[in-house]
Every structure is written in structure tokens, then in C-alpha cells.
Amino acid sequence: MITSTKPDARRNASPYLYGQEAAAVAQVLESGQYGHSDVTEEFEHRIAEFLGVPDAVAVSSGTAALHTALLAAGVGPGSEVIVPSMTFCATVQAILAVGAAVRFIDVDPATLCVTEQLVRDAVTDATAAVVPVLFGGRAADLMGARGELNARGIAVVEDAAHAFGSRSGPHLVGTAGALTCFSFGPIKNLTCGQGGMVIPRTPEEADTVRRLRLLGVQEPQGERANTTTYRVGGFGMRYQLSAINAAIGLAQLDHFATTADTRRHLWRTYRDALAPLDSVTLVDVDVDNAVPHLCQILTPHRDRVFTALRARGIGVGVHYPPNHLQPAFAAWRRLLPATERVGREVLSLPFHQHLTETDIDVVVTALGQALAS
Ligand SMILES: *Cc1c(COP(=O)(O)O)cnc(C)c1O
């Protein structure tokens, strides 16, 4: 049995294994069916059941989920997609992959999420979709603006890579009527090793994503099909989730309640330990509803603190350098003052399930010393 041996607890992020993952993978390896298989479909059913939605479509990554979801929403060349600059670059690359223009917007520095007002201010006649990023596990469902967006034919495609299992009021993320994209990458709250999931709003969207993830092939291939041919109905990529990865996700899902409890406990421990420190602002999480993905602070002394903590072997990180300042996205650069300030001041503290209360004490003590020096 392979469980996570405790890695250096001061790493910024780490997967956490519960012990059944390796056996689940071994079973798939012995089965000889490594690609899309019944195991992948079982993972889809279990995720749909967990969320209480009719369907879920597994893909090979969160990036693939965003790419296929944008295509399923009808976004393409000539249209514009509103996205916060404060996100992982994958969100932006998925928009470029469909040939749409990028309209970067600011975030609320208190939550690192977009607000309804910021979205409203950015909508134009060219807007085809808004991609809110559910930063750190916070729900940012834009409920108050949904009516207006729907009336203008603007899709909400949620980047919920950080937010599997989080709730907004009574709604689990993925159940509030948006086209939702999860990532099950190595350090996400639930991991497949690599993987992603699209929660479609309609059966048509589900069919589209299923075709897109299998190279545009519409009918079963190989031994499943009793024909000498197959039908390529349209564009598609090799985006299916392998059974090997799905098996890891299934084993992880069995323990998700523990994952959620542990992450909430660790986040609250950090919150209490950080409270006495001057000149740091905790980026707040509604920890009763969210499953926290990161523990972040804002400090005007970020660069100095980053260097001092790294010198002590503490894996602090920056989520994220603003995308509107990246060379690849220079065509869509604009002035985004809140994002630029966050880009200078944000610091992610080590946050993963191998941490103990003692580890958190060590990190926060070192942080206090770095701030005081
Ligand atoms: C991880 C992540 C993605 C991409 O997911 P992958 O599974 O790594 O492709 C997209 N957006 C955000 C905010 C992420 O953190």
C-alpha cells in the first residue's frame, strides 16, 4: 500500500494520498484498458452523483475542460471573453485556443475574485462569455448578474479548478447553472494525477464535449463497435481521461469529506496564528462553505518576505503573476490597478494536507521574524 509519505511539510503544495489509489491503478493496469473505459465513466457518474447533477464529462485536464467548455458554449473567433487577469495562465490559453479575444478585468483584492459590477462594466456587444475564476475555492457565481448576462446571450463558464466541493449558500459549485470546469491536477483539492471535468448545462453541451475529447469521433471505435469504420463528425482533440487517472480520482473521492475537513481545519489554524501579525492581510475565505485551496496573505513587504522565507526552506509561492503583464498576452494589456497591487503583494503560504499545526506555527513564526527584520 502506498500512502503519502510525509514530504517536506514546508513545500508550498503537495498531493495527499489516502492509500487506496495505488491498488486502484494496479487494477486498471491489470485490466489492459488504459484509455477511456468503464472506470472513466464510473468516475463521471460518481462526480455527478456527488454534485447532484444529471451529467459530468471527464477530460484530461482542467485546461482541456476550459477549452472544450468554451467551444460547447459557442465561443469562437470574432467574440470576446471576459476573464480576470488574476488567474493561472491556463485560463487565458484556453480562451486563445478557441480564437476569441481576451478582455482582462480586475478583481476584488479582498477575495481575488471578480465582482458582478466589474463584469457588468466590461460587457460589450462582442462579449460571448465570462469566465469567473473561483479563486482559492471561493464561490464567485455571479448570481446577481446572471439574468442580464443570459438576456444578452453571454455564457458563464466557471473556472472552478480551485473549487471542487465548495458551496455558495445551498449550491455546490457546479450546480448553480453555469458551465463549470474542474481540474484534478496534481495539487488540486481532489487529484487524478492529471484530469478535469466539465459539468454541462444541457445534454447538447455534454455531447459536444464528449465528441471534442475524442478527436471528433462520434461513434464507438475498436472492439466496442461492430463496424469496419468510424465517423469523424467535427473538430476534436485527444482530451479523454485515462482509466489510470480516473481510478486515482475515484479513490480520492471516497475520502473527500476528510479532505474538506482537513483543509478547513488547516486554514482556520493559519487564520488564528496570523491574526496578531501587523502589516499582513489574510485573503479571506468563507471557510464554512468553501474548501480552501490556498492560504494567502497580502503584504507590502512581499518580495523581502518571499526571499527570507525561501532562504529558510519554506516554500512560499505567488498565485499568480498577473496575466495582462505576460508577454504572450500583451495584445490585451490594460490598466488593472487592483490586480497589479495583488501581483506585488500576494504571497501563498505552504498549504496542503501533510501540514501539522506545528508546521503552521513554524511558518508563521518565520513570517513574523521576516516582517520584523
Ligand atoms: C490548475 C488550474 C487550471 C488548469 O488545470 P490543469 O488541470 O492544470 O490543466 C486552470 N485554472 C486555474 C485557476 C488553475 O489553478
Based on the fold, state whether residues 70 and 113 are members of the same structural domain: yes
Q: In the prediction, which pLDDT does 3 show? A: 65
Cβ–ligand 1 distance for 185 under 6 Å, the answer yes
Q: What is the pLDDT of residues 305-333, one digit of tens each?
A: 999 999 999 999 999 999 999 999 999 99
pLDDT, mean over the chain: 95
Q: How far is the CA of 66 from the centre of ligand 1 (A)?
A: 9
Based on the fold, state whether residues 248 and 261 are members of the same structural domain: no
Based on the fold, state whether residues 334 and 246 are members of the same structural domain: no
Q: Which of 208, 227, 253 marks a domain boundary?
A: 253
Domain assignment of residue 232, yes or no = yes
Neighbours of 123 (CB within 10 A): 17
Domain assignment of residue 4, yes or no = no
Domain assignment of residue 260, yes or no = yes
Confidence of residue 2 (pLDDT cuts 50, 70, 90): low
Domain assignment of residue 10, yes or no = no
Cβ–ligand 1 distance for 196 under 6 Å, the answer yes
Domain assignment of residue 8, yes or no = no
Q: How far is the CA of 180 from the centre of ligand 1 (A)?
A: 13
Q: Say whether pLDDT at 6 is over 80.
A: no
Based on the fold, state whether residues 199 and 75 are members of the same structural domain: yes
Based on the fold, state whether residues 216 and 308 are members of the same structural domain: no
What average pLDDT does this structure show over 247-267?
98
Query: Does the active-site annotation cover 188?
Result: yes
What CATH number corresponds to the domain at position 194? 3.40.640.10
Nearest CA to ligand 1 atom 13: 88
Q: In the prediction, which pLDDT does 140 show? A: 82
Based on the fold, state whether residues 79 and 225 are members of the same structural domain: yes
Q: Can you tell me the distance from the alpha carbon of 112 to that of 319, in angstroms, rounded to the nearest whole number? A: 10
* Mutation to probe ligand 1, out of 89, 159, 164, 187 (largest number of atoms < 8 A from CB): 159
Nearest CA to ligand 1 atom 7: 62
Q: How far is the CA of 37 from the centre of ligand 1 (A)?
A: 24
Q: What is the pLDDT of residues 25-59, one digit of tens each?
A: 999 999 999 999 999 999 999 999 999 999 999 99
Based on the fold, state whether residues 86 and 145 are members of the same structural domain: yes
Based on the fold, state whether residues 181 and 322 are members of the same structural domain: no
Cβ–ligand 1 distance for 249 under 6 Å, the answer no
Q: Give the bridge partners for 179, in sequence order.
A: 157
Q: How far is the CA of 83 from the centre of ligand 1 (A)?
A: 14
Q: Give the bridge partners for 182, in sequence order.
A: 197
Confidence of residue 279 (pLDDT cuts 50, 70, 90): confident
Q: Which of 36, 67, 162, 188 is catalytic?
A: 188
Cβ–ligand 1 distance for 91 under 6 Å, the answer yes
Q: What is the pLDDT of residues 137-192, one digit of tens each?
A: 998 889 899 999 999 999 999 999 999 999 988 899 999 989 999 999 999 999 99
Domain assignment of residue 2, yes or no = no
Cβ–ligand 1 distance for 61 under 6 Å, the answer yes
Q: Is 36 within 8 Å of 173 (Cβ atoms)?
A: no
Q: In the prediction, which pLDDT does 100 show? A: 98
Q: How far is the CA of 277 from the centre of ligand 1 (A)?
A: 31
Based on the fold, state whether residues 333 and 227 are members of the same structural domain: no
Based on the fold, state whether residues 338 and 201 are members of the same structural domain: no
Domain assignment of residue 195, yes or no = yes
Ligand 1, atom nearest to 159 Cα: 11
Nearest CA to ligand 1 atom 2: 161
| Domain assignment of residue 214, given as a range | 21-253
Q: Say whether pLDDT at 229 is over 90.
A: no
Cβ–ligand 1 distance for 193 under 6 Å, the answer no
Confidence of residue 226 (pLDDT cuts 50, 70, 90): confident
Q: Can you tell me the distance from the alpha carbon of 267 to that of 283, in angstroms, rounded to the nearest whole number? A: 11
Ligand 1, atom nearest to 61 Cα: 7
User: What is the domain count for the chain?
Assistant: 2
Ligand 1, atom nearest to 185 Cα: 7
Q: In the prediction, which pLDDT does 12 show? A: 95
Query: β-strands 196-199, 179-183: how paired?
Result: antiparallel
Instruction: Report the b/e string of 191-226 with b at 16+ CB within 10 A.
Output: bbbbbbbbbbbeeebbebbbbbbbbebeeeeeeeee
Domain assignment of residue 7, yes or no = no
What CATH number corresponds to the domain at position 354? 3.90.1150.10
Based on the fold, state whether residues 332 and 217 are members of the same structural domain: no
Q: Which of 253, 271, 304 marks a domain boundary?
A: 253
Confidence of residue 90 (pLDDT cuts 50, 70, 90): very high
Based on the fold, state whether residues 189 and 274 are members of the same structural domain: no
Q: Which of 224, 253, 282 marks a domain boundary?
A: 253
What average pLDDT does this structure show over 330-354?
98
